[in-house]
Amino acid sequence: MSTFMMYQPLTSGSLIDHAARYHADTEIVSVNTRGGTERTTWQQVAHNAHRVASALDHLGVPSGARCATLAWNNRRHLEIYFGVGAGGRVTHTVNPRLSDEHLIYILNDAEDDVLFFDFSFCPLIQRLRPHLKTVKHYVLMEPHTDDIPEELAPLLFFDELLEHGDKNHRWPEFSETTPASLCYTSGTTGMPKGVLNTHRSLVLHTLSSNQPDGTGISARDCLLPVVPMFHVNAWGTPFIAAMVGARLVLPGAKLDGESLLQLLSSECITVAFGVPVIWANVLEALQNHPRPLPHFRRSFVGGAALSPAMTEIFETEHRIELVHAWGMTETSPIGTINAPLHRPQPLTEAHALTLKSGQGRPVFGIDLRLVDADGQTLPSDGKTRGYLQVRGHWVVGHYFNQDKSALTEDGWFDTGDIGTLDEHGYLILCDRAKDIIKSGGEWISTVELENVAVAHPEIQRAAAIGVTHPKWDERPVLICVRKSGSEVDEAALHLWFQARVPKWQIPDKILFIDTLPMSATGKVLKNELRHEYGQILMGART
Ligand code: ADP
């Protein structure tokens, strides 16, 4: 290797060390699982991260070992994030809302040595523990307490464990391609699959996604990641916050609209991150109990499609910008972020609105293309729909514990999404390939139907699904949740659709239910809806 320039490996330890050194007093606010709010600093978080690493050394946990977490967004989780990864082990974040079957599968597949967990998950641990084959150390993320069921013994307590740790411990030296964190997909089709991020991929993701046309977070920001630290590294927000020394507010377990609104206001949050349903709840809380949010400027929203109707209400009524972003576990997760381009010739209003509602354009380090069903590349003309493929510095190569590559023969990852791209890379996502409605050889985008539905002033939430049809293979059925007090009916919504979509895309049936089934990562569980309503058109006239 040439020595003309210094070489230093890109590691997560360098991020926390930077925060500790140059942003030592910047505050980290953490809502505790058992109530109350704790205030600490980047320096104290860094000291505890070093203590975590050295305590794991004392326990004899080998380098490279996976250390799982079942935890909310809080400061102990943050200390584990850095202490485990920078200490040469792998932080394996686990989504506690998965089924017991998937959790047991994931923890055994990852062969975790250590399992850190929050107090709320004591009952879950009691159920899982007899089935976990490799976990040697169970660590409750609390000070010592006797307030735990006997069946959980033997148990270590996080704060006691750290007493055996050394804040002056030094990070071990290793290559930047060493694994740092592991996250499994949600496994809506088949068993979950593990995506292993390396230190290099993680640092490059942090640097690139925080460019001005990306998340653009600075030391003057106060960040509220509502996206869970248990799924895809909370979209990288802990690492971005450390890199720039931003103030960080970790919201704990209470993620209802009112609790979040309280935090947004009392902690003077400037930037937040969350899935669309979180912002729908915040909006409802804002409408019920209006209060000024003078500091809150923007939120990054992804994980599921953000409806243009909600973006507009936030912007016009509250002067808060919702920025649409796209990604997935396999892309660490940030792929695209919606930032406008400089345009010498202004766009038409309709074109500008279309682009604004889309998922944005790739950040540096991500490359996108569309292909047809035979893998042939399709034009990026803003019109042609195709299967979206991606490649880049923080895109999965092969899944954990699987020998086979996850990529196409020419090195791209097939996202399972369908969309359009224009010449600048603006992505407009139509659907998951498994959700798009195939009606008589044409595709109908469920995202478009849902956007039309929630633009209706009396509809709170909506999900469109493809339902088996005797003549057309599939036809759209729309399942809606009304706003409270509304009695809007199928006929009225039918008229609403007639005015807004081509006739052949109007849902054949519109149903109303009280709540939509949702995953912990903010996605409507459409397979459950298809299971329930999949046959309701089989008696339909052809
Ligand atoms: P899983 O663990 O189930 O794979 P991910 O959190 O990785 O879940 O979800 C990735 C998927 O979420 C994407 O492939 C896409 O279908 C959907 N998604 C993510 N962001 C958006 C967005 N902004 N608009 C629409 N869908 C999105």
411 plus 441 within the same structural domain: no
Q: Is residue 542's pLDDT more than 70?
A: no
At residue 541, the pLDDT reads 56
Q: How far apart are CA 36 and CA 28, in angstroms?
A: 14
Does 329 fall in a domain? no
Question: Which among 221, 253, 285 is the end of a domain?
Answer: 253
Indicate if ligand 1 lies below 6 Å from the C-beta of 227.
no
Q: Is 324 in the pocket of ligand 1 (CB under 6 A)?
A: yes
335, amino acid identity: G
* Ligand 1 atom at minimum distance from 333 CA: 7
Q: What is the count of structural domains for the chain?
A: 3
483 is catalytic: no
Q: Report the residue among 429, 445, 446, 449 best suited for mutation to probe ligand 1: largest number of ligand atoms under 8 A from its CB.
A: 429
User: Average pLDDT of 168-196?
Assistant: 93
Identify the residue whose C-alpha is closest to ligand 1 atom 24. 305
Supply 103's token pair. Answer: 């959790």
Domain-embedded: residue 65: yes
The secondary structure element, H or E, covering residue 224 is: strand 222-225
Q: At what angle do helices 42-59 and 75-86 cross, to 10 degrees?
A: 60
Catalytic residue among 79, 142, 330, 450: 330
Length of the chain (residues): 542
Q: Is the pLDDT of residue 322 over 70?
A: yes
- Indicate whether 451 and 379 sit together in one domain: no
Q: Looking at the structure, tell me whether residues 242 and 370 fall in a common domain.
A: no
pLDDT number for residue 191: 87
In the DSSP assignment, the letter for residue 397 is S
Give me ligand 1 centre to Cα 336, in Å: 12
The answer as to whether 314 is a domain residue is: no
The whole-angstrom separation of Cα 447 and Cα 309 is 13
The pLDDT of residue 520 is 85
Q: What is the CATH number of the domain that holds 24?
A: 3.40.50.12780
243-295 pLDDT, tens digit each = 999 999 999 999 999 999 999 999 999 999 999 999 999 999 999 999 899 99
Ligand 1 contacts CB of residue 188 (under 6 A): yes
Residues 336, 385: Cα–Cα separation, whole Å: 17
Say what the pLDDT of residue 187 is: 72
Q: Of 420, 363, 423, nearest to 392 (Cα)?
A: 363
- % of the chain residues with pLDDT over 70: 99
State which of 196, 227, 253 marks the end of a domain. 253
322 inside domain: no
118 CA → ligand 1 middle, Å = 26
pLDDT at 540 over 70: no
Q: In this structure, how many other beta carbons lie within 10 angstroms of the beta carbon of residue 274?
A: 26
Domain membership flag for residue 482: yes
The average pLDDT across 463-480 equals: 94
pLDDT value of position 397 = 98
What are 37-83's pLDDT values in tens digits?
999 999 999 999 999 999 999 999 999 999 999 999 999 999 999 99
Gap from CA of 327 to ligand 1 centroid (Å): 6
pLDDT for 488: 96
Same domain, 57 and 41: yes
C-alpha 328 – ligand 1 centre gap (Å): 5
177 Cβ contact partners less than 8 Å away, ≥ 6 residues apart: 198, 199, 200
State whether 113 and 206 are in the same domain. yes
| CA 247-250-253 angle, 5° bins | 170
**CB of residue 328 inside a 6 A radius of ligand 1:** yes
pLDDT tens sequence across 337-368: 999 999 999 999 999 999 999 999 999 999 99
Domain shared by 518 and 457, yes or no: yes
β partners of residue 279: none
Ligand 1 neighbourhood includes 452 CB (under 6 angstroms): no
151 falls in which pLDDT band (50, 70, 90)? confident
Which residue matches tokens 């009606």?
Answer: 439
H helix intervals, 267-413: 276-288, 308-318, 349-357
With vertex at residue 68, the alpha carbon angle to CA 67 and CA 72, rounded to the nearest 5 degrees, is: 130
Q: Does 149 have pLDDT greater than 90?
A: no
In the block, tokens 């209006």 appear at 290
- Residue 443 known to be catalytic: yes
Q: Are residues 427 and 498 in the same domain?
A: no
- Residue range 388-438, pLDDT digits in tens: 999 999 999 999 999 899 999 999 999 999 999 999 999 999 999 999 999
Query: What does the block give as tokens for 297?
Result: 């400027």
Q: Which domain holds residue 378?
A: 338-432
Catalytic residue among 69, 185, 215, 446, which?
Answer: 185
The answer to whether residues 155 and 226 belong to one domain is: yes
Same structural domain, 381 and 505: no
Tell me which residue has tokens 């106060």: 222
Q: Is the CB of 435 under 6 A from ligand 1?
A: no
Is 210 near ligand 1, meaning CB less than 6 Å away? no
pLDDT tops 90 at residue 223: yes
Q: What number is the average pLDDT over the span 531-540?
A: 86
In angstroms, what CA-CA distances link 198 with 178, 179, 193, 221, 228?
A: 5, 4, 16, 27, 20
d(CA 111, CA 98): 18
- Looking at the structure, tell me whether residues 453 and 410 fall in a common domain: no
Residue for token pair 């052949």: 504
pLDDT digits (tens, 9 = 90+) for 86-135: 999 999 999 999 999 999 999 999 999 999 999 999 999 999 999 999 99
Cα–Cα distance for residue pair 287/295, rounded to 1 Å: 18
CATH number, position 375: 2.30.38.10
Please report whether residue 194 resides in a domain. Answer: yes
438 noted as active-site residue:
yes
For residue 478, is it within any domain? Answer: yes
458 alpha carbon, distance to own chain's centre: 28
Choosing from 432, 465, 500, the residue where a domain stops is 432
Residue 485's domain is classified under what CATH number?
A: 3.30.300.30
pLDDT of residue 147: 84
Nearest by Cα to 395 from 381, 378, 384, 408: 408
106 and 248 both lie in a single domain? yes
472 catalytically annotated = no
Are 233 and 138 members of one domain? yes
- Which two three-digit tokens encode residue 50? 């070093």
Sign of torsion over alpha carbons 206, 107, 44, 272: positive
**Is residue 266 assigned to a domain?**
no
